Amino acid sequence: MGILSPSLLWVFMSMLILHFLTAPVESQLQSPPADLLFTNGFAADAANLTLNGGAQVLQNGVLRLTNDSLRALGHAFYSTPVRFKNSFGGPAASFSTAFAFSTVPQYPGLGGHGLAFTISRSRDLPRAHPSQYLGLMNASDIGNFSNHIFAVEFDTVKDFEFDDIDDNHIGIDINSLVSNASVTAGYFADNSSTIQDIHLQSGEVIQAWVDYDSLRNQLDVRISESSVKPTRAILSFNVDLSEFFEETMFVGFSASTGLLASYHYIMGWSFSVNGEAKSLDLSSLPSSPGSGQNTHKGLILGVSVSASVIVVILLASIAIYVIHRIRTADAIEAWELDVGPHRFPYRELKKATQGFREKELLGFGGFGRVYRGTLLNSNTRVAVKRILNRSKQGLQEFVTEINIIGRLRHRNLVQLLGWCRRRNDLLLVYEFMSNGSLDKYLFDEPKRILSWEERFKIIKGVASVLLYLHEEGEQSVIHRDIKAANVLLDDDLNGKLGDFGLAKLYEHGADPSTTRVVGTLGYLAPELTKTGKPSASSDVFSFGALMLEVVCGRRPIEQKAMPEELILVDWVWENWVLGSILQVVDPRLGGQFDEVEAVLLLKLGLICSNRLPEIRPSMRYLVRYLEGDLIFPDNVLPPDGNYDIKNTCSGNSGCDGGPDYIRSYQNSSSSDKATSSSTANDGDLDLEAGPFSPAPSDSGNSSSNRLFGSEEVDRTNKGLTKSNGRD
Burial class (CB in 10 A: 0-12, 13-18, 19+), 584: buried
Q: Over the stretch 152-176, which tens digit does the pLDDT of each residue have?
A: 999 999 887 888 998 899 999 999 9
Look at the alpha carbons of 710, 713, 715, 721 in this order and tell me if their dihedral is positive or negative. negative
Q: What are the DSSP calls for 517-582, one per residue?
A: --S-TTTS-TTHHHH----HHHHHHHHHHHHHHHHH-S-SEE--SSSS-EEHHHHHHHHHHTT-GG
pLDDT at residue 305 in the model: 45
Specify the range with the lowest mean pLDDT, choosing from 272-276, 314-318, 472-476, 685-689.
685-689
Are residues 3 and 244 in contact, defined by beta-carbon separation less than 8 angstroms? no
pLDDT at residue 674 in the model: 33
Q: Over the stretch 585-601, which tens digit does the pLDDT of each residue have?
A: 999 999 999 999 999 99
CA angle (472 as vertex; 467, 475 as ends), nearest 5: 110
Return the C-alpha torsion angle 247, 248, 253, 254, nearest 10: -70
Count Cβ neighbours within 10 Å for each residue of 708-721 and write b for 16 or more, e otherwise. bbbeebeeeeebee
Q: Over the stretch 326-335, which tens digit does the pLDDT of each residue have?
A: 444 444 444 4
Highest mean pLDDT among 232-241, 283-292, 377-386, 438-447: 232-241
Residues 6 or more apart in contact with residue 664 via CB below 8 angstroms: 643, 644, 646, 683, 684, 685
Percent of the chain having pLDDT more than 70? Answer: 68
Q: Look up the pTM and report it.
A: 0.48
pLDDT at residue 419 in the model: 83
Q: Over the stretch 1-36, which tens digit does the pLDDT of each residue have?
A: 455 455 555 555 555 554 444 444 433 344 444 456
Question: What distance in Å separates the CA atoms of residue 207 and residue 486, rounded to the nearest whole number?
Answer: 46
Are residues 207 and 99 in contact, defined by beta-carbon separation less than 8 angstroms? yes
Percent of the chain having pLDDT more than 90? Answer: 39
Interval 413-438 mean pLDDT: 84
Q: Name the class of domain 438-637+711-717.
A: mainly alpha
Domain residue spans of the chain: 28-295, 334-431, 438-637+711-717
Q: 28-295: which CATH topology?
A: Jelly Rolls (2.60.120)
Task: Check whether 504 is labelled as a binding-site residue.
Answer: no
Terminal alpha carbon distance of the chain: 82
CA distances from 439 to 555, 590, 646 (A): 9, 19, 41
Q: Over the stretch 468-486, which tens digit does the pLDDT of each residue have?
A: 988 887 678 888 888 998 8
pLDDT at residue 636 in the model: 74
Q: Over the stretch 504-549, which tens digit does the pLDDT of each residue have?
A: 444 445 555 544 445 566 677 788 777 778 888 999 999 999 999 9
Higher pLDDT, 713 or 624: 624
Confidence of residue 694 (pLDDT cuts 50, 70, 90): very low
Highest mean pLDDT among 348-352, 407-411, 472-476: 348-352
Q: Helix, strand, coil shares of the chain as percentages rounded to 5?
A: 30, 25, 45
684 is catalytic: no
pLDDT at residue 294 in the model: 44
Confidence of residue 717 (pLDDT cuts 50, 70, 90): very low
Among the listed residues 481, 539, 586, 660, the single catalytic one is: 481
Are residues 200 and 264 in contact, defined by beta-carbon separation less than 8 angstroms? no
Specify the range with the lowest mean pLDDT, choosing from 28-37, 382-391, 623-632, 675-684.
675-684
Q: In the predicted model, is pLDDT for residue 108 greater than 70?
A: yes
pLDDT at residue 477 in the model: 84
Q: In the predicted model, is pLDDT for residue 449 greater than 60?
A: yes
Highest mean pLDDT among 50-64, 181-195, 338-352, 358-372: 50-64
The pLDDT mean for the chain works out to 76
Question: What distance in Å separates the CA atoms of residue 445 and residue 369, rounded to the nearest whole number?
Answer: 22
Q: In the predicted model, is pLDDT for residue 94 greater than 90?
A: yes
Q: In the predicted model, is pLDDT for residue 182 greater than 90?
A: yes
pLDDT at residue 388 in the model: 64
Q: In the predicted model, is pLDDT for residue 127 greater than 80?
A: yes
Higher pLDDT, 337 or 57: 57
Q: Name the class of domain 334-431.
A: alpha beta
Higher pLDDT, 215 or 319: 215
pLDDT at residue 565 in the model: 67
Q: In the predicted model, is pLDDT for residue 97 greater than 80?
A: yes
Interval 78-93 mean pLDDT: 87
Confidence of residue 320 (pLDDT cuts 50, 70, 90): low
Q: Over the stretch 550-565, which tens digit does the pLDDT of each residue have?
A: 999 998 887 654 556 6
